[in-house]
A = this chain, B = another copy of it.
Amino acid sequence: MSSVTGKNIKLSVFGESHGEAIGCVIDGLPAGIKLDEERIKRDMARRAPGKDLTSTPRLEKDIPHILSGVLNGVTTGAPLAMIIENENVKSSDYENLALVPRPSHSDYPAFVKYGGNNDIRGGGHFSGRLTAPLVFAGAVAKEALRAKGITVGAHIKSIGSVKDDCFDYNNITGQEIEELSLKAFSLLNSEKEIKMREEIEKYRADGNSIGGEIECAAIGVPAGFGGNMFDTVEGRLSQLLFGIPAVKGVEFGLGFGFAEANGADVNDGYEIRNGAVSLLSNNNGGVLGGITSGAPIVLSVAIKPTPSIGREQSSVNLKTLQNEKLIIKGRHDPCIVPRAVPVVEAAVAIGLLDIISE
C-alpha cells in the first residue's frame, strides 16, 4: 500500500479509525506560507460528522495538532506533520465484522491483501475518517495556492435525483468560490438545500443510502501547467480524487457529456479579451492536451451511496467459507456527499499545488 503521493508536494497520510491517532506529513511545502487557522478549522468542521440527521452522530473533535514545519504560524519549509487524536471509539460495534466482510466495502480485498493482519476496526486505514488529514492538507495547500491568486471551491452537484445549478463559466468568480466554504451544506443555489435534505431523509428513514455528485472549480490557475501523456492535469488530479473513498468516476468539463456532443457545438474557440488570449467557452474544463488553458479548472466526481446500510445483506464468513447474512450495527451516514465536498476541494488543492510547483 502506498499512502504517499505527489512529485513536488509529497503527502503521507497515516492512521486507523480506531487507533491512537491519525494524521499526515506534507513534504515539499514552500517556506513562508502564512496559515490561517480559522479557514483550516472551518474546512475541518465542514467534513466533520455529527452535525445533523444527514450524517453519522459519532462525535469527533478533529482538532489538528501541528508537530513540525510551522513556526509562529508560518511554514518553515521542513515537513509539516500533523496529528489528530482519536476519541470516542466504540470498537465493539465492529467486532462481528472481522470475518464477515461488509458488501461494497474494502473489507474483503483488504483481508486478502494483508492476510488478515490489517486493523479492521472501523475500517482501519480504509476508514472515511482518514479523509480528515486529507482535508487538513488541502486547507494548507489552499493557503499556498491563495498566495498565488488561486481559489478552489466545490459544491454538491446532485444528491439522488435532486440537482444544484452548475458553475457558469461566464460568471464564475473567486468570491463565489470562496463563499461555498462558508456553508455547511455547500450549494450554488441555496434553495435546493431543503429538497436535498428531504431526499437524504427519505433514504435514511428507510435504512438505505443514496449517492450523488460533487462539482469542483479552481479559479486563477495560469495557462501552461501540467503536461501530456502521463503528466496530464486530469490524470494527476484523478489519482488523488479516486483516493477519496466512494469516488467512482471523475470527469473534466463536459466529461461524459462529450459522448453525445459534436465538435461544432462544443469546441472552445478563442478571442482576444483585454489584450489577452481568452476562451469563448470552457467545455474542456480548463485543461487542453493535459495542460491548463487559463480558464477555470472544472471537474465533477461521482459518489456512490454509503455501503453501510441498516438492512440485512448477503455476505460470507471468511474463515468457515459459509454464506452468512450480515446486519451492520451502529449509525452511518445515509449520504456522505455533503461531508465529501471539502474532501474533493482538498484533493484538487493538493494536486494543483503539486502541479504548479514545477
Contact = CB atoms under 8 A, between A and B. Distances in A.
B4 A289 contact: no
Interface in A14-46: 14-16, 19-23, 25, 27-28, 31-32
Given A15-B68, A67-B83, A289 B208 contact: no
A71 B18 CA distance: 11
Contacts of A313: 267, 269
A245 B211 CA distance: 30
Contacts of A166: none
A15 B263 contact: no
Determine the interface band of chain A, counting residues with CB < 8 A from chain B. Answer: 35 or more
A239 B238 contact: yes
A152 interface: no
Nearest to A202: B262
A267 B313 CA distance: 9
A270 B313 CA distance: 9
A38 to B, nearest CB: 21
A268 B79 contact: no
30 contacts: A1-B79, A2-B230, A3-B227, A8-B358, A12-B79, A15-B68, A15-B81, A32-B117, A76-B119, A78-B119, A101-B270, A106-B288, A108-B270, A110-B291, A160-B262, A203-B262, A203-B263, A207-B264, A208-B263, A210-B263, A211-B258, A211-B261, A234-B242, A238-B238, A261-B305, A266-B305, A271-B316, A275-B321, A276-B321, A277-B318
Interface of A: 1-5, 7-8, 10-16, 19-23, 25, 27-28, 31-32, 66-69, 71, 74-81, 83, 101, 103-110, 112-115, 117-119, 124-126, 130, 158, 160-161, 203, 207-213, 222-232, 234-236, 238-243, 245, 247-264, 266-272, 275-277, 280, 283-285, 288-294, 302-309, 311, 313-316, 318, 321-323, 358
